[in-house]
Amino acid sequence: MLKEFKEFAMRGNVLDMGVGIILGAAFGRIVNSFVNDILMPPIGLIIGRVDFSSLFINLSGKSVTSLAEAKAAGAATINYGLFINNVIDFTIVAFAIFLLIRQINAIKRRSEKEPAAPPSTKDCPYCLLTVPLRASRCPHCTSELKAAT
């Protein structure tokens, strides 16, 4: 059973998937840092010195002034500022993936449009084996072949 699992785990597609998940997680952290550390501070400054990550609705009767204070007090909150940050994270990741897939599809379309190379072989009409296109006699059955046009 261990041998079968090793064969399964070492298949190319499983390894590719593992690498993709690891790179995706790293890319997610980069985008999260970009949104929280670079994008949102200027947006918050433009809107009026608002830090989106600290926006919340206090559902408990306790009086709190910050999200950290609410969490420390165990107060129930709706953290809509964090939700806004996550929506922006998702949008950036989705757009980056869209651009990547778009480029891959463009490359595929270009490769499909490339003309196929002219054939260099033909089938012998007598023995049905492949012979060079310019051959005048089949090397397998020694039949005479029509000249290539």
Determine which of 50-54, 70-74, 118-122 has the lowest per-residue pLDDT on average.
50-54
Average pLDDT, the chain: 83
- pLDDT at residue 149 in the model: 56
Inform me whether the pLDDT recorded for 114 exceeds 80: no
What pLDDT does residue 36 have?
78
Q: Which residues contact 19 (CB under 8 A, 6 or more apart)?
A: none
Domain boundaries, the chain: 2-54+81-114, 117-149
What's the rounded mean pLDDT across residues 56-61?
86
Q: Residue 148 — pLDDT band, cuts 50, 70, 90? A: low
CA-CA distance, 105 to 93, in Å (whole number)?
18
Residue 147 CB partners (closer than 8 Å, separation 6+): 136
